[in-house]
Amino acid sequence: EAGVAQSPRYKIIEKRQSVAFWCNPISGHATLYWYQQILGQGPKLLIQFQNNGVVDDSQLPKDRFSAERLKGVDSTLKIQPAKLEDSAVYLCASSEAGGTYEQYFGPGTRLTVT
Amino acid sequence: GENVEQHPSTLSVQEGDSAVIKCTYSDSASNYFPWYKQELGKGPQLIIDIRSNVGEKKDQRIAVTLNKTAKHFSLHITETQPEDSAVYFCAARSRHAGGTSYGKLTFGQGTILTVHP
């Protein structure tokens, strides 16, 4: 079974620039999550999708972050404009349905904002 | 919202020793407590989990205990091996308002475990 795929793996941008991350969940997984993991901390949930609908985006900084999952499969997370404090690893995870099952994480995208 | 505290932040043991990592949570309605292992450059991987209706669970060298009254849970690794070296995270799943559970996990800060040969 193929795991959660993410790209790119690394990205370096200057502050105020824009960046987008892509995630392809495990086939058949209805629930998709985006987490932000700052160095030395645990992952923090940014947004959760159930199919193509948003279940929880309470911790997403909506003035600069946006995410979509148009066809209920893959997803993109965008930051515009980036700030220095956005430097982190962005993890995508998926689970079978309703969040009651194990969450499988992708390898993450390491973002450095200079 | 849920708050998870994890201790210690670093743990160094000799190969063959046991390692214990402890977590506390704040939301008494949380009902699912997974533990993840994260190796360098990789995403977290589930190693064991426990639900609120169970007090203890064991899987070979790994065990987890849950005390709902005290709102704390612990990871126990016995006969540690160098390949156990990694960052370990505990997490708690809280419910949305209205009682619906959608799997939102709140993670602890992580424990860097180093097993010396």
Size of interface A-B (CB pairs under 8 A): 65
pLDDT score of B102: 61
Residues B12-70: pLDDT tens digits?
Answer: 999 999 999 999 999 998 889 999 999 999 999 999 999 888 899 999 999 999 999 99
A13 contacts A21 by C-beta, under 8 angstroms: no
Chain B residues with beta carbon closer than 8 angstroms to that of A102: 34, 46, 49
Contact residues, chain B, for A26 at CB < 8 Å: none
* Angstrom distance (rounded) from CA B39 to CA B45: 9
Instruction: Report the residue of A38, A105, A109, A110 to disrupt the B interface, i.e. the one with the largest count of B CBs within 10 Å.
Output: A105
Residues 6+ apart with CB under 8 A from B60: none
Average pLDDT (A42-49) is 94
Q: Which of B42, B45, B107 sits opposite A42 (nearest CB)?
A: B107
pLDDT level of residue B99 (50, 70, 90 thresholds)? very low
Query: Which of A40, A100, A106 shows the shortest C-beta gap to B103?
Result: A100
Testing the interface with A: which of B31, B93, B104 to mutate, by most A Cβ within 10 A?
B104
Structure confidence at residue B90 (pLDDT): 98
Q: Is the pLDDT of residue B100 over 60?
A: no
